[in-house]
Structure 1
């Protein structure tokens, strides 16, 4: 037996409204639904569902790095910086292998999680 692919990732947030605005309006990730009366929102990121929520207790708090594929890393990085997202430097090559280069750029969401952009060229 083996587990299947990742289905959902929890991201701890301190303010659900601010987090929804960032992930939906700034990053452009489709919002699936918010749970009425609870501090929870779910987004569709390919086959993986992102679950943003205010943790009920400290043992459920998460700190994560999210890596998003993009088609044009320079353009997407510039768009997010223009929108006020804090960046940690410019897009750059992190790996070369034969005919492929892996480019990355790192930014920060409102709760301090690192959001990485990645493009294979």
Structure 2
């Protein structure tokens, strides 16, 4: 038996309201729901559910790195910068093969999780 596709990713957050505002309003990821009375919020990023939560015990604290596909990395870089997101680097090529270039640009969320924009560009 093999595992199915990735279904959900959990990120530990320290301030749920601040993180919900960042992922929903700045990054534009659709919010599914916030669990009433619980420090938990769920977003839908493509086919993968993103769970933001404050863990009840230290063994569930995570530090993660998320990569997001974008159609136009330069436009997304400009949009996030204009929204006040401190970008770690400008879009740049990280890999090239016979048919594509892979471009990336990194930044952090309010809790310091590493987030990266990714775009594949076909070679002319």
Smaller-chain TM-score bracket: over 0.9
Quick check: 1:23 aligned with 2:20?
no
**1:1-121 → structure 2 map (5 Å cutoff):** 1-121=1-121
**Cα shift readout 1:20-69 (whole Å, capped 9, x = no counterpart):** 00000000000000000000000000110000001111100111111000
The alignment of Structure 1 onto Structure 2 pairs a total of residues equal to: 121
CA apart distance, 1:93 = 0.2
Structure-1-length-normalised TM-score? 0.98
Unmatched 5+ stretches in structure 1: none
**Cα shift readout 1:80-101 (whole Å, capped 9, x = no counterpart):** 0111111111000000010200
Q: Distance in 1 between matches of 2:56 and 2:76?
A: 34
Q: Distance in 2 between matches of 1:82 and 1:113?
A: 20
Unmatched 5+ stretches in structure 2: none
Q: Which moved more, 1:79-88 or 1:36-45?
A: 79-88
Structure-2-length-normalised TM-score? 0.96
